Amino acid sequence: MSARRVLVLVAAVAASAALLSAQSGWPPAADRPTINIWPGAAPGAPANVAAEKDMTTAKDNLIAGKPLIRLGNVSVPTLTLYKPRGKNTGAAVVVFPGGGYSILAIDLEGTEVCDWLNSAGVTCLLLKYRVPNTGPYPKSAAALQDAQRAMGLARQHAAEWGIDPHRIGVLGFSAGGHLAAAISTHYDKRLYDPVDAADSLSCRPDFAVVIYPGYLALADKNFAANADINPTVDTPPTFIVQAEDDPVHVENALVYFQQLKNAKVPAELHVYAQGGHGYGLRRTALPVTTWPQSVVTWLHTIKILPAE
C-alpha cells in the first residue's frame, strides 16, 4: 500500500472516530473534565490488562434505531464532570452505566443520561467503573470500591464543582442499578484502605434511582432477595423502574421495593407492562420510556430539586 493511501486511510479512521465521539459524547469533550478516581493503581489491579475498547460489533442490536458503545476492558476507572450549561440547582447524580459487569453502555446509559440531567439543572458525574468480572458484590468488590470512591470524591470537590454535598445521589441501569442498590446499603465502611481525605467523607448517596436492575432477586432461588443487599431505615430514598416483560425479571424491582418498604425507606416503584431491557432514555412509543419525567417529579417531591 502506498504512503498516500495509508495517510488517506488513517485520516478516514480519525474522521470516523471524531464523528462517533460527536454523536455519542464519548470520549468526553475537552470541556467535560475527567479525573482518575484512584491516584495510582486501583485496589487489586491485575498486571498486563487488555486495552480498553468498544466491544460493539455489526451484529449487536440497536436501541431505538441507534447503535451504542459497549466499552470493555476498563481497568482505569474515571469520573467525568458534566455541569449544567444553564441553571444549576446544586443537585448532583453519580451515574453507573449497565452492562452485566462485563461492559459499560457508556453512551446509552451514560453520556445521554448526563445530557438529560443537565437539562434539569442537575450536575452529572459519570463513573466509568472497572469491568469485566467486577461484580456483583461480594463476588467482586471492584465496582463497588469505585462507586464508594466516586461518592467521596464528589463530596470532596463539591464546592469546586458547584454542587451541594447533601444532595448527591446515584442512578444506575441494569448491573449499574444493582450497583446503586449496593452502595445504598454498603456505605458505612470502605471496601479498601483509605487513600486520601476523600475517603473520610461519607459515601452514602442522598437518594438513589434504580433502573431495570439485575441481581436483586435470585431467579435460581425462586426470586429470593439477594442476601447481600439489606436495606435499613438509613438507606436513602429510592426510585425504581422496570418493565413486566423484562427478561432480566421484574422481580428484581418488586423484591427490592418490598425490602425498602419493610425497612421504612421512602420508595417509589414504577412497573410497566412492556419495555424489555436496556432502553436507557431513548424514547419509543412504549410508556416505559417516559420514566425520566417521573424521576424529575420525584426529585421535586423529595425536595432534592426546588419547588417549581
Give me 285's grid cell.
Answer: 412509543
> What is the four-CA torsion angle of 157, 25, 30, 45, rounded to 10 degrees?
60
Separation between Cα atoms, residue 52 and residue 62, nearest integer Å: 22
Separation between Cα atoms, residue 289 and residue 89, nearest integer Å: 24
Domain boundaries, the chain: 1-28, 31-301
pLDDT in tens, 259-281: 999 999 999 999 999 999 999 99
Q: What is the pTM of this model?
A: 0.92
Above 60 in pLDDT, residue 16? no
Pick from 142, 146, 65, 72: which is nearest to 106 by CA? Answer: 72
Separation between Cα atoms, residue 181 and residue 255, nearest integer Å: 12
The CATH number given to 31-301 is 3.40.50.1820
Share of the chain above pLDDT 70, in %: 92
Q: What angle do CA 289, 97, 36 make, to 5 degrees?
A: 150
pLDDT in tens, 230-247: 999 999 999 999 999 999
